[in-house]
Amino acid sequence: MLKRFWSILFCLFSFTHQAYAYEFTKVSEFFNMLQNKYVSELDLEDVSLNGLKALSQFDNSFMLYHSDTKVFLYHQNNLVATFLIPQEKNNSILWRDLIFEILNTCLYYSPDLEKNSQSLETNVLAAMVRHLDAFSRVDNIPSAHIVSKYDNLNNIVYLKPTLFFSGISDDIQKIIANHANLDGVILDLRGCKGGNFNEALKTADLFLDGTIIAYSSNNKKQQKYYNATPGDILEGKPIAILTDSYTASAAELIAAALSEQSRATIIGTKTYGKNSIQDLYQFNDKILFLTSGYFYTPSGKSIHQVGLMPQICTGINNSCLFPDTKDSLKDIKIATKLIKKNFS
């Protein structure tokens, strides 16, 4: 009879614990991407344990401490669980499982966390990502659209993408196709912080004819060259690219590819200087940006912390570093004159 009582009690305890089990799919995907995509070697122990510190910031009834071999979980100042730190320090699966176990234990001891389990996971994930590099991050889904205007007087199309989102190269191609026999294009990349690496390649490809767009290196130190397909949708007509200190990443790739291949003139001020490639994983209202490689210009240059210098500087006193904010149309006027001069 006593044996049966303990069996029933054990079953009830197990059921209660599982009732609060939550599938931490975002964390799982993160560790999968770390193993297969992340560009650099890393300290999984440092990443994982620092990520778990977000737990006490999210719910201060929990505290975590760790020794060289164990993690101690306190709830309301009481030690409630002890976990072994993986001996295989580079095994991402073991670190993922440890985080799962700790977070689900928290849900068990604090049922109120169940309704906030997604937010808890996001906070822990963001804390782990912050310990990777300067550009990997968890962020809000950015606003992405393209502004296009047709200058009927000068027969020029003006294009200003906020971000290189999926499908933007098709949008640009359609916009230009709607205006036959253009004299040129102004591509305004001021304030454009980058976007999708593949879309940047496709956009540059629109205006290049079989030349090198860029090349990249990944976590296996493999180099990959990206060549433009035959055909230039503008058939060699002039392109002016506008830049500033916020022009970054994918936007810099396009500016570098077109300028180094003598296909466009850069006008404005020096760009940001970011050559990292991010893989994107979207969940709910957030996106995980994980650095998976680095790109280089057609000539093999890295723009990291260097940026691109315009051929025509339009900053204060013709500076390449300090934008002239008093005249918002200055760069567009210069670009228009340049296109008309080159086309005539």
- Lay out the sheet containing 70-75: strands in order across: 62-66, 70-75, 78-84
Instruction: Identify the weakest region by mean pLDDT among 20-24, 135-139, 206-210, 223-227.
Output: 20-24
- Rounded average pLDDT over 76-87: 96
Q: What is the pLDDT of residue 5?
A: 43
In single-letter form, the type of residue at position 44 comes to L
In single-letter form, the type of residue at position 27 comes to V
DSSP single-letter state for residue 164: B
- 3-class secondary-structure state, position 30: helix
Asked if 156 and 182 count as a contact pair (C-beta separation under 8 A), the reply is yes
CATH 3.90.226.10 domain range(s) in the chain: 146-343
Q: What is the pLDDT of residue 218?
A: 87
Q: How many CA atoms within 13 Å lie on the side-chain side of 101? A: 17
- The helices-and-strands tally (H runs, E runs) of the chain is 10, 14
Q: Comparing C-alpha atoms, which of 280, 141, 297 is closest to residue 216?
A: 297
Paired tokens of 184: 């040129």
Q: Model confidence at 231, in pLDDT bands (50, 70, 90)?
A: very high
Q: Is the pLDDT reported for residue 18 higher than 80? A: no
**How does the average pLDDT of the chain come out, rounded?**
90
Q: Is the pLDDT reported for residue 10 higher than 90? A: no
Q: What is the pLDDT of residue 115?
A: 83
Q: What is the pLDDT of residue 326?
A: 82
CATH 3.30.465.10 at 146-343, yes or no: no
Paired tokens of 293: 């490689």
Q: Is the pLDDT reported for residue 142 higher than 90? A: no
Q: Is the pLDDT reported for residue 60 higher than 50? A: yes
* Packing angle of the helix pair 44-52, 117-129 (nearest 10 deg): 140
Q: Is the pLDDT reported for residue 236 higher than 90? A: yes
Give the separation between CA 7 and CA 284, rounded to whole angstroms.
41
Q: What is the pLDDT of residue 96?
A: 94
- Rounded average pLDDT over 210-230: 92
Q: What is the pLDDT of residue 344?
A: 56
Q: Is the pLDDT reported for residue 62 higher than 70? A: yes
Asked if 211 and 228 count as a contact pair (C-beta separation under 8 A), the reply is yes
Q: Is the pLDDT reported for residue 7 higher than 50? A: no
What would the DSSP string read from start to end of 123-158?
HHHHHHHTTT-SS-EEEEPPP--EEEEEETTTTEEE
Asked if 88 and 94 count as a contact pair (C-beta separation under 8 A), the reply is yes
Q: What is the pLDDT of residue 21?
A: 62
- Each residue of 288-319: pLDDT tens digit? 999 999 999 999 999 999 999 999 999 988 88
Q: Is the pLDDT reported for residue 260 higher than 50? A: yes
- Rounded average pLDDT over 33-48: 91
Q: Model confidence at 17, in pLDDT bands (50, 70, 90)?
A: very low
- Rounded average pLDDT over 187-196: 95
Parallel/antiparallel/unpaired status of strands 146-151 and 156-161: antiparallel
Q: What is the pLDDT of residue 22?
A: 74
Total length of the chain? 344
